[in-house]
Each structure stands twice: as C-alpha cells, then as structure tokens.
Structure 1
Amino acid sequence: MRVAFVLGTTSGGTGRHVRMLAEGLVRRGHQVAVIGPRSVEEQFSYGRAGARFAAVAVSDRPHPANDLRTVLAIRRLTWDADVVHAHGLRAGALAALGKRGGASAVLGKRGGASAVLGRRGGARLVVTLHNALTTGGFVGRVYGVLERIVARRADHVLVVSPDLGAGMARLGARDVRTAVVPAPGLRPAARTPGQVRDELGAGDRPVLLTIARLAQQKGLETLLDVAAGPWPSGQPLFVVAGDGPLRGVLQSRIQAENLPVVLLGNRDDVPDLLGAAVALVMPSRWEGQPLTLREALMSGTPAIASDVGGIPEILGDAGILVPPGDVEALRRAVQALIVPGAAETLAAAAARRGREMPGEDDAVESVLAVYGGQDPKDD
C-alpha cells in the first residue's frame, strides 16, 4: 500500500505521532511519503524512518494565494496514492480540496527506479483531528468552514476525543472513529525523587507538576490563581515544565505576587520530575489524548485534570477531574491530594491505567484497518 501523510507546522505530539505511524508502516512493507513544511522534516527526520519527504508549506493561518498553491501541490504529490492521511484540521481541509484530479508525482527514487505513489484516480482520504479550537471570532469562523470541508470530503475522520467526534458527526462526516494515540515507552528516572526535590528547592513542600506549552489552551492562568492560595494545610510548590508565548506574562505575575510557582522551561528529564511529584496538574481548556497524561500514568503518578476532551477516558479512576477554569474546584482537589497518604490509592490506580495504555503496534494496526475500509464493528 502507498500512503501519503500530510501535516502542517508542529513541534510536538502530532509530528511524533506521524513519525511513529510512518516507521510502523515502513516496517510492514508499505511505501510512505510525508508532505509538509521543511521544518517538520528537520525536527522529526521522516526520511530516517524510511519515508520520502516532500516539502510543501502548510501554514497554521489562512492565506488564499498560498493555500491554493498548497492544494495544487498536495493534489500533484498524492495523485497516485492509495491513501492520503492528513493530520490536523488545516492539513485535512487542504488535502480534501486537493483530493481529486491532478498529475502523478514522483516523490523520489529507490534502487535507480522511480517510486510513484500508487494508483490513478482518487485516494482514500483519512483525516485525524488532534486539537479543538479554543478561541472564537474570525479565526473561529474560518475553522468552522474547514471543519465542514473535512466532514463532507473525508472518507474517514479519526478523532482524539468524543467531543470532536460528535462535532464531525453533526456536520455529516460519513465515518468517525477514535484515533489510537500511544505514548512512547517512558525511560527510567535517572535521579531519585529526593535529588529532584533538592534541585527544585522544594524543602518539605509537596510538588505539583504541570507539563505544558505555555499557551492559551493550557489554562495556566487558572494554575496561578490556585497557587495564590489560601493554603490552610501548608503551601505546595507548583512546577511547570515547558515553554511558549505566555512565558513572559506568567513569569511577571509569579514575581509580582510572589507565587509558589517555578517555570522550568523545556526539560528532557520528565521521568525524574514525575517521580518527585505528588500529582500531575492539567488545568487545560481542552486536550485530546495528551501524551503527558499517559506518561504520568505509566510512571504511577496520579493527575488532577480538567474534565475536557479525551482526558476523562484516559484518566479513569487514576485521578480527580475538575471543571475547566474552576479555581476553587482545582484548589480543593490539590488540597485533598497533598494530605499525607492521600495520593497512594490513586497512584496504584495510575500504575494500573499506565499498564493498560495502547502501544505503537496497536496504533499502526488501527490505521491499517481504516485504510483497508474495515468496519469498526469488525475490529
């Protein structure tokens, strides 16, 4: 089978997910091409996974002239594909607009012979939606149009949360299924919890860990509101790993109000941080199937998280769900969990949930079933 992935600019989970699928398909003998901005190849090295890469600008904002060029390029590069699998709403809509017609394209050579993606005539179009829009206005209206394009033209829509699936079904999508998004295996911690706590300057305070891009979707202003207290039973230390556009605003408030919050920036020692934390805290406005939550569960770390998107299905009984943006509910959940011994039962549940998480083979077999048109009731 000849599969062409289409994706836009990404620095995180979407890019890693496509890399994982590409590797799994190549390992099973399928021919794979990846189409997207040059930056994603530089970061995720799809060529090293055995896929052919074609650089095409898929921006994260509408631009009529550029979008037309992108649609024509996708049409040309995927004319002979058996399956076109786009990731993200923008990439999905552009791939849908380029679904029919066009000229065949050679994406590279292997062993001296031209390697052309698949058959003439229209490929099966699969679109995976990884995120929901959490802002309105003009951008919200534009993305509403893109949703309708995907719902009407995609053969299959894969979603990372039930709310995304319900929205696509309302718009008339013909086949909506749950995407299987595994977390990579978590490496062992390199340091003891005590060593990490010493580095953080935690002292006797319980550590609450947040791993997030410092952006609007993650609801970090709610975390700072919670950190401001009051804390009648002792103040915890809130630690945030990650970077992003809101770092300056968040840091200014932390300093102005002397909040017990430390912004660590991007880190490569997540297992160490999870080992030192009482719980992972996710105050997000929306999440699909967050890899950080899966990693926490695999490490046996419970979570306090917003009751949004795909979080409830992943978390199960291994943590506490709170309404998004509800400062008092989040504070009460933290206070309940930092009482000595309170987190032990949830930690056991987290470890069990972690063992139940799907793996990479499950994800690859799942998309192959979709590519082959297998009815989900037959899975």
Structure 2
Amino acid sequence: MSHVSSHSPHGQAPLRTVQVLGGGSAVSSTHVRSLTSGLVARGVRVTVCAPSEADGLYDFTGVGAHHVHVPRSSDPASVAGLRSAFADADLVHAHGLHAGFRATLALGRRTTPLVVTLHTRSYAEGARAHLLRLLERRVAKAAAVVLGTSSDLVDQARSRGARDARLAAVALPVPRRVVAGEDPDRPASKVRAELGATERPLLMTVGTLDRRRGYDTLLDAAREWRGLDPAPLLVVAGEGPLRGTLQRRIEDEELPVRLVGRRDDVSELVAAADLALLPGGPEARSVLAQQALHARVPLVAAAVGSLPDLVGDGAELVPYGDAGALAGAVARLLGDPARCETLRERGTRQAATWPTEDETVAQVLSVYDELTQLRPLT
C-alpha cells in the first residue's frame, strides 16, 4: 500500500501541516527541509513559516512546500503572520524553543495539535535563566507531543511539564557527492586550493560564532599547533556575534586561521579536510559531526552533552575547554595515518547506526496520525 493513500484515507483531505522555524540553525533548517521532502512525497501538504533568507538557503519550496515569510521575532506582526498561516492547518510542528513559543502565542485558544521538536538545550544566566524556565514550561505544557533529539532534552521537557515527550529520530541527509564520491566538477584539491591549503593540512570547523562553541579554546590550540611543520590551516565556516573579536585575535597573534563566513558548500569543505574539529556546541545532533563521519573525515570533538553518544568510538574525544588536549590530538592524528584510517572505519560503522531520513519521516508521520485521527472527511 502506498504511503500517499494512507495519508488521505477514505476520502479524507490530505493532511495539512505547518512547520515553524525559530532561530534557523543549520540543524533545525536541514531537518525541516528533509522532513518536508519526505512528507510531501507521502501526500502531506506542508507550509514552512521561516524568514525568506532561510528559504533561500534551504530551498523549502524546491522540495514542495509552500513558504510563508515570517521574521524571527515574537512581535505582534510575526505572531499575526503565523496565526494566518495556521488558519486551515490540521497540525502545527515547531522546531526549537522559540519557534514553539511563537506557535503557542499564535495558536491561542485554538485546539490545533502542536508538536515541538527540541534540537538544542538553551542556556541563560541570572534573571534570564528564570525567564527561560518559564518559556520552557509554557511550551512544554502547550505541546501535544515534545520530540527531543537527545535523552537529556526529553528528560528536561518532562521536568517542565510536557504531557508526552519522546526521543526523536533525526537524520541528516547524506550529501549526494558523499554517497557517490567526489563531485567531479569540484574535486577536493580544488576546494583546498581555494582555501589556501595546498601544501599544508586543512582543519575544518563549522558553527555559529558565539560564546558557547569553544572558539577561544580553538584559537588557543591553533597557537600551539602553529609550531608544526607545515602549520595546519584552520578554516571556520559560520557567522555570529564573535566574528570581530575572533578576527582581531587571529590577526594580533598571527594564527593560521581563516574565517570564511556562512557558506552553502559546507559538506564539500568538510569532505576536503584532513580533520574536522568540534570544540563545543549546544546541538544534541551536531551537523558537523554527522557530515564528518559520513564523509570519512576524522573528527576531533569536545566530549560535551550527548555528542559522545552520537559519535561512539568514531571520533577522537577531548575534554571541553582543554586547548592543550585539543592541540595534542590534532598533532597526533596529523602524524598518524593508521589512527586516522581506524577513525574513518569506526566513523563509517557509527554513521550506519543513525536513523535514516525515511525512519525520521515515518516517526513524525506516526505522531501526526495519532494527533489527527479525527479529521473531517472531504
């Protein structure tokens, strides 16, 4: 039996869902694109509420969604935009805490089921920590189902009052060129030449340039491996509030580091690298960690949160915030091809245990079906 018929049974109209994006992180945006593609293929109608630049980057319309531009804020105009998009929805699915909060405001007293997927743990200090807990409680109680991408996010949702919190299967799409080998139009050697790493090792990291991701530790480590011959080049893809501070430090200390901003070819950059580095980050399922293991690029990562569960023995783990350990691991791996090959093999095995895109879509659809069984017939 086809999936499409199972989601328009007995003359029922196709299921109409609205996906709401919050901060627009690579993790949630990549997931929503993958999910949208799978839902549309199974006969579900999908509207994605996100800023226009997110549709430009992730092309939700290209996989069959209707896109509605909604700015990333909780102001009345944004909430009104969401409310309008929700008008004929059978179900609303928000991705991230802030998207969940905005969806809760927009739904008001409507009984449309709300699903919230939590991809990252939010952090705040002082008075803001109290506000954050209130926000978490409001969203947890409003959601019919909370999906957490790690067990600690599920536990947190339950502690905030979620009536139904479950572990979510979240797959990262494997880029076509990783599956089929190198993109013949842009081989790794060309990527490395463009980045300025033809005669030296290339290290790659990706992520928002903010305080929680361990960039200070990374630059401290870069200062240590500057003495290697040849000194590896670290390329950092991403934008964020720390850009100016990091750039000044790179220049002042003459560090072998390049900030290349936000890129739409991250999977190619990672695949061309000798090592991928992950000094920290709040995501339960790091996109960079998954890209590195899929691309058979050895990963050195800080052992924080649920990252050790994600990568298993397929990465070199170091303590968070320990620049000496990070620099030492990089130097050892660059001088040990056999260890790198072992990590590639283990990483490939670990990646094979992760959920597939089909399994991710199937789990989400089963949740949607539970919550919308009493939809009217056409």
Give the structure-1-normalised TM-score.
0.81
Which residue number corresponds to residue 362 of structure 2? 365
Question: What's the counterpart of residue 174 of structure 2?
Answer: 185
After superposition, where does 1:20-169 map in structure 2 within 5 Å? 20-59=34-73, 66-67=75-76, 70-71=78-79, 73-75=81-83, 77-99=85-107, 101=109, 122-169=111-158
Residue pair 2:90, 2:113 contacting (<8 A) in 1 also:
yes
Superposition deviation, residue 202 in structure 1? 4.2
In structure 1, give the amino acid aligned to 2:304.
V
Number of positions where the alignment pairs a residue of Structure 1 with one of Structure 2: 349
Code of the residue aligned with 1:83 in structure 2: it is L
Q: What is the identity, as a one-letter code, of the residue corresponding to 2:209?
A: L
Secondary structure in 2 aligned to 1:336?
Answer: helix
Aligned partner of residue 308 in structure 1, secondary structure: coil
Query: Mean alpha-carbon deviation: is it higher for 234-243 or for 314-323?
Result: 234-243
- Cα RMSD, aligned residues only: 2.8
Equivalent residue of 1:143, what SS?
Answer: helix
Name the aligned partner's letter for residue 270 of structure 2. Answer: L
Is residue 2:160 matched to residue 1:171? yes
- The alpha carbon displacement at 1:326 in A equals 2.1
Distance in structure 1 (CA, Å) of the matches to 2:246 and 2:156: 33
Say if 2:300 is the partner of 1:292: no
Report the counterpart of residue 223 of structure 2 in structure 1.
Answer: 228
The CA deviation at 1:266 is: 3.6
Q: Cα gap change, 1:229/1:171 in structure 2, threshold over 3 Å: closer, same or farther?
A: same
Tell me, what secondary structure is at the counterpart of 1:228? helix
- Report whether the alignment pairs 1:306 with 2:295: no
Q: CA 1:4 to 1:285, structure 2 compared with 1: closer, same or farther past 3 Å? A: closer
Q: Is the 8 A contact 2:226 2:256 kept in 1?
A: no
Alignment match, 1:344: 341
Measure, in 1, the Cα distance between the counterparts of 2:148 and 2:287.
15
Deviation at 1:301, TM superposition (A): 1.2
**Contact 2:93 / 2:115 at 8 angstroms: preserved in 1?**
yes
Structure of greater relative contact order (alpha carbons < 8 Å, 6+ residues apart): 2
Give the deviation of 1:157 after TM superposition. Answer: 0.8
Aligned to 2:32: 18
Percent sequence identity is 41
Structure 1: how far apart are the matches of 2:130 and 2:291? 35
Letter in 2 for 1:345: T
Unaligned runs of 5+ in 2: 1-14, 372-378
SS class of match (1:304): strand
- Gaps in structure 1 of 5+ consecutive residues: 103-121, 375-379
Equivalent position amino acid for 2:30 in 1 = R
The 1:76/1:200 distance shift into structure 2, 3 A limit, reads closer
Q: Is the 8 A contact 1:80 1:123 kept in 2?
A: no
Aligned equivalent of 1:215: 210
- The answer to whether the aligner puts 1:241 opposite 2:241 as a matched pair is no
Cα distance, 1:318 vs structure 2: 0.7
SS of 2:49's partner is strand
Instruction: Considering fraction of residues, name the structure with more helix.
Output: 2
> Which residue is equivalent to 1:111?
none
1:8 to 22, 30, 34: 22
Q: Which amino acid aligns with 2:348?
A: A
**Aligned in 2, Cα 1:45/1:197: closer, same or farther, shift over 3 Å?**
closer
CA contact (8 A) 2:236 2:260 kept: yes
